[in-house]
Amino acid sequence: MVTRGFSSGRKPPTDTDARIPPGQYLEQGFPVLSAGPTPRVRTEDWSFTLKHGPRPIKKWNWTEFNALPLTKMTRDIHCVTAWTKFDTAWQGVLVDDILADAGIEPPTGFTLALSFDGYTTNVPTKDLTAGKAMVALLYEGKPITPDHGGPARLLIPHLYFWKSAKWLNGLQFTERDEPGFWELRGYHIYGDPWREQRYTGDP
C-alpha cells in the first residue's frame, strides 16, 4: 500500500541496496536496546562457562579467555527494530576456538547463550561454528562499553542482533531448541533478517 504523501527521501544509494535486508533502514549511529538496566561487570569478576545441559565443561576467567586466539570480524548487523549498520568491526574469540580449547566437538544441535543479567537466547549450534560467530571482546579496537554488552558479547552477525547476547557469561548446549528471553516474548525462534523472521509466526 502506497502511503499518501510519503516519498523516499532517505532511499540509500542503490549500490548498498543488496546489503540491506527487507524492512530495514541504514543507520550511521549505534542505537542501544535492552530489557533492563546495564550491568557493570568488572573483568576481575568476569568468567565464561561452557556447559552441556547443567554440567559445566570448562570455565575461563578474563585472563585465560583473553589468551585464546583473537579473530577480527567486520560485518553488517541488523537489529529487529529495523536498523542496519554496515561494517561494524569486532575482535574476539571464535566459538570454534573456544570449543577447540575445551577439546570438544559440539555435543548437541542447539545452544543457549547465557548472560550475567539472566538474559538467554537460543541458536542452532551450527550457526555458531565454522567461523560464523564469536565472543567479541573489542569493538573498533577498544573494549566494548557496558551499554553495548561489554566486557564480552556474543556476535552472530547473520541473525537479528538480539541473538548477539550482551554481557555474555556462557554457552550451554541443549538437547532441544529452547526459546530464550525474547523468543518467549513474541520474537522469532530463529531470526533470519533476510527472511524477515522478526516475530513469532513469521515464516
Ligand X SMILES: Cc1cc2nc3c(=O)[nH]c(=O)nc-3n(C[C@H](O)[C@H](O)[C@H](O)COP(=O)(O)OP(=O)(O)OC[C@H]3O[C@@H](n4cnc5c(N)ncnc54)[C@H](O)[C@@H]3O)c2cc1C
1 is in the binding site of which of other proteins, ligand X, none (Cβ under 5 to 8 A by kind)? other proteins
- Residue 83 binds what, of ligand X, other proteins, none (CB under 5 to 8 Å, by partner type)? other proteins
Q: Which does 11 bind (CB under 5 to 8 A by kind): ligand X, other proteins, none?
A: other proteins
Judged by CB under 6 A, the chain residues 73 through 132 that form the site for ligand X are 81
- Are the CB atoms for 80 and 161 separated by under 8 Å? yes
Q: How far is the CB of 152 from ligand X (least distance, A)?
A: 25
Q: Which three cell numbers stand for residue 126?
A: 551450527
Query: Per the structure block, which three cell numbers stand in for 160?
Result: 537479528
On the CB side of 166, CA atoms within 13 Å amount to 21
Q: What are phi and psi of 127, to 5 degrees?
A: -80, -5
Instruction: Tell me, by CB under 6 A, how many residues bind ligand X.
Output: 3
Binding site for other proteins (CB under 8 A): 1-11, 23, 25, 29, 31-39, 81-83, 117-118, 147, 181-182, 184-186, 199-202
In the complex, least distance from residue 17 CB atom to other proteins, rounded to whole angstroms: 10
Q: Between residues 10 and 55, which has the closer beta carbon with respect to ligand X?
A: 10
Of other proteins, ligand X, none, which one does residue 35 interact with (CB within 5 to 8 Å by kind)? other proteins
**Using CB distances below 5 to 8 A depending on partner kind, what does residue 184 bind out of other proteins, ligand X, none?**
other proteins
Q: 51 vs 85, which CB is nearer to ligand X?
A: 85
Cα-based distances in Å from 159 to 38, 48, 81, 167: 23, 22, 13, 18
CA–CA dist 144, 100 (Å, integer) = 24
CB of 15 to other proteins, least distance (A): 15
For the range 65-74, what are the long-range contacts, defined as Cβ-Cβ under 8 Å and sequence gap of 24 or more? Answer: 65/93, 65/135, 65/137, 65/152, 66/137, 68/93, 68/97, 68/98, 68/101, 69/93, 69/94, 69/97, 70/137, 71/97, 71/134, 73/134, 73/136, 73/155, 73/157
User: Nearest approach, Cβ of 144 to other proteins (angstroms)?
Assistant: 15
Least separation, in Å, of the C-beta of 12 and ligand X?
Answer: 8
